[in-house]
Structure 1
Amino acid sequence: MSIKPPVVYLLALLCATITPPAQALVQRAFVASDGNDANTATDCQVTLPCRTFSQAITVVNPNGEVVAIDSASYGNVTLTQSISLTAAPGVYAGTSVSTGNTGIIIATPNISVVLRGLTINGQGGSVGILINANNAKVSIENCVISNFYLDIPDRQHGILVQQAATIRIVNTLMRDNDIGIELPAGATADISRSKFFGNDTSIFARNLTSGTTTTVAVSNTVISGSFYGIYAFANSSATSRIEMVRSIISNSDTGVFTASEGGTASFSFRKSLVTGNIDGLVELGSGATLISYGNNTLSDNLNNPIIGTLTTIAPL
Structure 2
Amino acid sequence: MGVHLRCILVAALCASTPALAQATRTWVSGVGDDANPCSRTAPCKTFAGAISKTAAGGEIDAMDPGSFGALVITKAITIDGGLDGGKVLASGTQGITINAGAQDVVVLRRLSVNGSGPTLGTTGIVFNSGKALHVERSQVRGFQQDGIRFAPAAGGQLFLDDVVVSGNGNAGVRVGGTAGAVTAFISRGTLSGNRQGLWLGAGSTATVSQLTASDNTEAGIWAQTEDGGKASLNVERARLTHNGVGLHAASVGSGSQTLLRLSRTAVDANVLASTRLIGTGTVLSFGDNRMAGVSASTCPAGAVSLEAAALPGLPRGGVFAPMQLGVLGAMGSVTSTVSGTLPRGFRLEGGVFSGTPEEGGDYPFSVTVTDGNGCTASRDFTLSVACPPMSLSPTGLAAGTTGQVFAETAFVHEGGEGTTTFVIDGALPRGLQLRDGVLTGMPTQPGSFPFTLTATDGGRCSASRSYTVAVARSSDFQEATLQLQASANPTYAGDAVSVTARVVGGQGEPTGTVTFFNGTEVLKVVTLQGREATHALATLAPGKYTLSAAYSGDTRFGGVDAAPLSLEVLPAKAPADESDDGCGCRQSGAPGGALLMLLLLVLNRRRRDAPTPG
- Which TM-score band applies after superposition, normalised by the shorter structure? 0.7 to 0.9
Q: For residues 109 and 45 of structure 1, what CA distance do their matches in structure 2 show?
A: 26
Is the contact between residue 27 and residue 61 of structure 1 (CA under 8 Å) also seen in structure 2? yes
- Secondary structure of the 1:54 match is helix
Query: What residue in structure 2 maps to residue 147 of structure 1?
Result: 142
Query: What residue in structure 1 maps to residue 50 of structure 2?
Result: 56
Give the residue type in structure 2 aligned to 1:168.
F
Q: Is 1:309 aligned with 2:309?
A: no
Query: What residue in structure 2 maps to residue 152 of structure 1?
Result: none
Distance apart, 1:266 and its partner CA: 1.1
- 1:81 paired residue among 64, 75, 80: 75
Per-residue deviation, residues 287-306 of structure 1 (Å, max 9, x unmatched): x11111111111268x7575
Q: For residues 100 and 46 of structure 2, what CA distance do their matches in structure 1 show?
A: 20
Query: What residue in structure 2 maps to residue 102 of structure 1?
Result: 94
- Secondary structure of the 2:52 match is helix
Q: Is 1:182 aligned with 2:174?
A: yes
- 2:260 paired residue among 255, 260, 267: 267
Give the residue type in structure 2 aligned to 1:128.
G
Q: RMSD of aligned C-alpha atoms? A: 2.2
Would you tell me which structure has more strand in proportion to its own residues?
1
Q: For residues 62 and 231 of structure 1, what CA distance do their matches in structure 2 show?
A: 36
- Secondary structure of the 1:277 match is coil
Q: For residues 270 and 303 of structure 2, what CA distance do their matches in structure 1 show?
A: 9
Alpha-carbon distance change, 304 to 203 in structure 1, aligned in 2, over 3 angstroms:
farther
Distance apart, 1:21 and its partner CA: 7.3
- Secondary structure of the 2:36 match is helix
Q: For residues 150 and 75 of structure 2, what CA distance do their matches in structure 1 show?
A: 17
- 1:297 paired residue among 286, 290, 303: 290
Q: Is 1:157 aligned with 2:149?
A: no
- Secondary structure of the 2:124 match is strand
Query: What residue in structure 1 maps to residue 33 of structure 2?
Result: 36
Distance apart, 1:64 and its partner CA: 0.6
Give the residue type in structure 2 aligned to 1:175.
S
Per-residue deviation, residues 151-197 of structure 1 (Å, max 9, x unmatched): xxxxx010112312211000010111121011224121110001111
- 2:61 paired residue among 64, 67, 71: 67
- 1:219 paired residue among 209, 214, 228: 209
Query: What residue in structure 2 maps to residue 153 of structure 1?
Result: none
- Secondary structure of the 1:132 match is strand
Query: What residue in structure 1 maps to residue 269 of structure 2?
Result: 276
Is the contact between residue 293 and residue 303 of structure 2 (CA under 8 Å) also seen in structure 1? no
Q: Which runs of 5+ in 1 are unaligned?
A: 1-10, 150-155, 208-212
Query: What residue in structure 2 maps to residue 125 of structure 1?
Result: 121
Alpha-carbon distance change, 266 to 21 in structure 1, aligned in 2, over 3 angstroms:
same
- Secondary structure of the 1:73 match is coil
Query: What residue in structure 1 maps to residue 164 of structure 2?
Result: 173
For normalisation by structure 1, the TM-score amounts to 0.83
Alpha-carbon distance change, 29 to 21 in structure 1, aligned in 2, over 3 angstroms:
closer
Distance apart, 1:240 and its partner CA: 1.0
Query: What residue in structure 1 maps to residue 241 of structure 2?
Result: 250
Alpha-carbon distance change, 271 to 52 in structure 1, aligned in 2, over 3 angstroms:
same
Alpha-carbon distance change, 113 to 161 in structure 1, aligned in 2, over 3 angstroms:
same
Is the contact between residue 277 and residue 300 of structure 1 (CA under 8 Å) also seen in structure 2? no
Alpha-carbon distance change, 21 to 45 in structure 1, aligned in 2, over 3 angstroms:
closer
Per-residue deviation, residues 7-40 of structure 1 (Å, max 9, x unmatched): xxxx9xx98xx67674221111000010011003
Q: For residues 166 and 22 of structure 1, what CA distance do their matches in structure 2 show?
A: 36
Q: For residues 85 and 92 of structure 1, what CA distance do their matches in structure 2 show?
A: 11
Give the residue type in structure 2 aligned to 1:105.
T
Is the contact between residue 293 and residue 329 of structure 2 (CA under 8 Å) also seen in structure 1? no
Q: For residues 230 and 101 of structure 2, what CA distance do their matches in structure 1 show?
A: 23
Q: For residues 299 and 285 of structure 1, what CA distance do their matches in structure 2 show?
A: 22
Identity of aligned residues (%): 26
Is the contact between residue 265 and residue 290 of structure 2 (CA under 8 Å) also seen in structure 1? yes
Q: For residues 238 and 82 of structure 1, what CA distance do their matches in structure 2 show?
A: 30
Is the contact between residue 280 and residue 304 of structure 1 (CA under 8 Å) also seen in structure 2? no
- Secondary structure of the 1:56 match is helix
Is the contact between residue 284 and residue 308 of structure 1 (CA under 8 Å) also seen in structure 2? no
Query: What residue in structure 2 maps to residue 4 of structure 1?
Result: none
Q: For residues 21 and 48 of structure 1, what CA distance do their matches in structure 2 show?
A: 15
Is the contact between residue 126 and residue 150 of structure 2 (CA under 8 Å) also seen in structure 1? yes
Q: Is 1:26 aligned with 2:23?
A: yes
Distance apart, 1:277 and its partner CA: 0.8
Q: For residues 300 and 50 of structure 1, what CA distance do their matches in structure 2 show?
A: 56
Is the contact between residue 283 and residue 308 of structure 1 (CA under 8 Å) also seen in structure 2? yes
Is the contact between residue 246 and residue 270 of structure 1 (CA under 8 Å) also seen in structure 2? yes
- RCO greater where, 1 or 2, for CA within 8 Å and sep 6 or more? 1
Query: What residue in structure 2 maps to residue 5 of structure 1?
Result: none
- Secondary structure of the 1:55 match is helix
Q: For residues 183 and 24 of structure 1, what CA distance do their matches in structure 2 show?
A: 37
Is the contact between residue 172 and residue 192 of structure 2 (CA under 8 Å) also seen in structure 1? no
How many residue pairs match? The answer is 280
Q: For residues 87 and 166 of structure 2, what CA distance do their matches in structure 1 show?
A: 15
Q: For residues 176 and 267 of structure 1, what CA distance do their matches in structure 2 show?
A: 25
Query: 1:222-237 to 2 correspondence within 5 Å?
Result: 222-226=212-216, 227-237=218-228
Give the residue type in structure 2 aligned to 1:93.
G
- Secondary structure of the 1:119 match is strand
Give the residue type in structure 2 aligned to 1:71.
P
Distance apart, 1:307 and its partner CA: 3.1
For structure 1, which segment, 119-128 or 177-186, has the greater mean C-alpha deviation from structure 2 after superposition? Answer: 177-186
Distance apart, 1:247 and its partner CA: 0.9
Per-residue deviation, residues 31-72 of structure 1 (Å, max 9, x unmatched): 0010011003xxx11111000000101111111100001101
Q: Which runs of 5+ in 2 are unaligned?
A: 1-6, 295-301, 305-327, 334-371, 373-614
